């Protein structure tokens, strides 16, 4: 999102915090830098998840509270509103605020020892209008309990974010302020987050810019829009130069209704590290998805962050004995929840071959390090260095 480039290109192939220690390449261009160069004041509040270096290195003029544990939505929205008031005193200078709340991430509550749910001091489960269980999850008590917690966390975040929208309106900033509400991955349920299945790729993505036709009013856009398209889109919107290294493309013409917009017909999801090394590369079209697995890890990386998991997916049928195959192929129009792997279906041989070729071309064209061998983690490198220095 912040570089317009794939993770294997910008250097963040896993988590950046603590011993995971992945980091943006030194020569990367961050969205905040591009906006700052275009004359914007820039500020970051709460969670910064793409770097552990000083955010000022990436173009943030102001930085508030780096610790994720303190980045509750209440606090982040309070600070955002205060910063909006501060910036309003300089109406001739445009501004960019990146406010990252921790919710609806899983939280560690004091009464939880073996699992992490979604509720905390300010969050209660929400089942007032029922609990929706997506078809890729088993409808059992544990799943229903966790999803009710998640719904409560979403309602809490919505309520806090609503205060920010009210402040924007009250300060007279509504018409010319672009609001982007989004996140970096799908929900933290099994076979969603930490995977390249669609429930892990699908994110909240809501925009509002009342002064521009097509950018407000409840419109829904159905085209494929990968995360790498955000940075070039914002640059085009304000007239800033888009770096040649950017791999995404602007969706400004799409929202503007321009005939020149050519919809994305393919994008390339990927995972290398999260909790552990689980390298996956994929290609997704409007009709199909092919996933390539480079390690015989378990069938999916659990995002429950719990020793005792309360929810489980419908696939695989026997999770303890299920490991990655080399490839998986899904027909998304007939199987949107990716339950039936068609990789060995002879009727899909041509589709399989075509997608494999296109994926390989992408890996070569972007010089993905996965084609050269296993990718070593920063922790691996630091342990080798410490052993050699002992």
The whole-angstrom separation of Cα 275 and Cα 254 is 36
User: Quick one: what percent of the chain has pLDDT higher than 70?
Assistant: 98
- In this structure, are residues 199 and 136 in contact, taking their beta carbons and an 8 Å threshold? yes
Question: Which tokens sit at 296?
Answer: 């015989």
Q: Which of 310, 308, 319 is nearest to 146 (CA)?
A: 310
Give the number of residues written for the chain.
Answer: 390
Enclosing domain of residue 360: 267-386
Which tens digits make up the pLDDT trace of 83-106? Answer: 999 999 877 899 999 999 999 999
pLDDT at 107: 87
* Whether the model pTM is above 0.85: yes
Which tens digits make up the pLDDT trace of 287-323? Answer: 999 999 999 999 999 998 888 889 999 999 888 889 9
- In the chain, how many domains are there? 2
User: Which residue among 238, 265, 292 closes a domain?
Assistant: 265
With 80 as the cut, is the pLDDT of residue 113 above it? no
Q: State the CATH number of the domain containing residue 277.
A: 3.30.1120.10
- Helix (DSSP H) and strand (DSSP E) numbers for the chain: 9, 10
Give the other-Cβ count within 10 Å of 296's Cβ: 9
Burial class (CB in 10 A: 0-12, 13-18, 19+), 313: buried
Which CA distances in Å does 121 have to 108, 112, 164, 189, 303?
10, 13, 21, 21, 22
Q: Is residue 2 part of a domain?
A: no
pLDDT at 67: 54
Burial class (CB in 10 A: 0-12, 13-18, 19+), 103: buried
Helical spans, DSSP H, in 29-140:
31-37, 73-88
User: Which residues are CB-neighbours of 192 under 8 A, at least 6 positions away?
Assistant: 136, 186, 199, 200, 303
Mean pLDDT of 105-119: 84
Q: Is residue 1 part of a domain?
A: no
State the pLDDT confidence band at 69, using cuts at 50, 70 and 90: low
- In this structure, are residues 207 and 256 in contact, taking their beta carbons and an 8 Å threshold? no
User: Which residue among 265, 284, 301 closes a domain?
Assistant: 265
The whole-angstrom separation of Cα 96 and Cα 177 is 10
The whole-angstrom separation of Cα 215 and Cα 133 is 31
Q: Which of 347, 247, 196 is nearest to 8 (CA)?
A: 247
Question: Which tokens sit at 54?
Answer: 């000083």
Tell me the pLDDT of the chain averaged across its residues. 94
The whole-angstrom separation of Cα 215 and Cα 371 is 40
Domain match, 98 and 234 both: yes
Domain match, 314 and 223 both: no
Which tens digits make up the pLDDT trace of 212-259? Answer: 999 999 999 999 999 999 999 999 999 999 999 999 999 999 999 999
With 70 as the cut, is the pLDDT of residue 68 above it? no
Cis peptide before 104 (omega within 30 of 0): yes
Q: State the CATH number of the domain containing residue 63.
A: 3.40.720.10
Q: What are φ and ψ of residue 75, in 5° steps? A: -70, -45
pLDDT at 233: 98
Domain match, 123 and 215 both: yes
Domain match, 259 and 274 both: no
Domain match, 84 and 33 both: yes
Give the other-Cβ count within 10 Å of 158's Cβ: 12
Mean pLDDT of 146-152: 97
Domain match, 213 and 287 both: no
With 60 as the cut, is the pLDDT of residue 66 above it? no
pLDDT at 305: 84
Q: Is residue 378 part of a domain?
A: yes
Q: Which of 227, 228, 225, 183 is nearest to 5 (CA)?
A: 228
Question: Which tokens sit at 369?
Answer: 């390090």
- In this structure, are residues 108 and 192 in contact, taking their beta carbons and an 8 Å threshold? no
Q: Is residue 317 part of a domain?
A: yes
Q: 88-102, 127-141, 165-179: lowest mean pLDDT where?
A: 88-102
Question: Which tokens sit at 337?
Answer: 């929840």
Domain match, 244 and 378 both: no
Which CA distances in Å does 170 have to 80, 164, 173, 362?
14, 10, 8, 47
């Amino acid at each position: 999102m912040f570089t317009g480039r794939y993770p294997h290109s910008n250097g963040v192939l896993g988590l950046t915090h603590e011993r995971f220690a992945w980091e943006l390449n030194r020569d990367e261009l961050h969205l905040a830098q591009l906006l700052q160069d275009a004359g914007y004041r820039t500020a970051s509040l709460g969670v910064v998840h793409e770097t552990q270096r000083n955010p000022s290195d990436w173009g943030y003029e102001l930085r508030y509270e780096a610790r994720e544990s303190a980045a509750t939505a209440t606090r982040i929205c309070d600070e955002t509103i205060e910063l909006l008031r501060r910036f309003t005193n300089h109406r001739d200078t445009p501004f960019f605020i990146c406010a990252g709340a921790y919710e609806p991430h899983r939280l560690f509550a004091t009464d939880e020892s073996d699992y992490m749910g979604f509720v905390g001091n300010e969050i209660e489960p929400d089942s007032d209008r029922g609990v929706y269980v997506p078809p890729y999850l088993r409808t059992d008590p544990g799943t229903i309990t966790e999803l009710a917690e998640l719904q409560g966390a979403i309602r809490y975040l919505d309520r806090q974010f609503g205060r920010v929208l009210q402040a924007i309106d009250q300060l007279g900033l509504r018409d010319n302020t672009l609001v982007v509400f989004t996140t970096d991955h799908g929900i933290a349920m099994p076979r969603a987050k930490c995977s390249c299945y669609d429930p892990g790729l699908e994110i909240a993505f809501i925009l509002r810019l009342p002064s521009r036709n097509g950018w407000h009013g409840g419109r829904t856009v159905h085209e494929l829009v990968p995360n790498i398209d955000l940075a070039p889109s914002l640059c085009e919107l304000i007239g800033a130069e888009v770096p040649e290294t950017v791999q995404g493309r602007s969706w400004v013409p799409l929202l503007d209704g321009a005939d020149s917009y050519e919809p994305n017909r393919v994008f390339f999801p990927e995972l290398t590290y999260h909790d552990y090394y689980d390298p996956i590369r994929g290609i997704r079209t409007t009709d199909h998805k092919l996933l390539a697995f480079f390690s015989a890890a378990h069938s999916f990386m659990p995002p429950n962050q719990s020793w005792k998991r309360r929810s489980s997916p419908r696939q695989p049928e026997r999770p303890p004995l299920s490991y990655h195959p080399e490839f998986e192929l899904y027909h998304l129009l007939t199987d949107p929840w990716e339950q039936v792997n068609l990789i060995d279906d002879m009727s899909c041989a041509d589709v399989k071959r075509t997608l494999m070729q296109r994926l390989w071309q992408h890996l070569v064209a972007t010089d993905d390090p996965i084609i050269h061998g296993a990718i070593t983690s920063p922790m691996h490198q630091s342990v080798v260095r410490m052993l050699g220095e002992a």
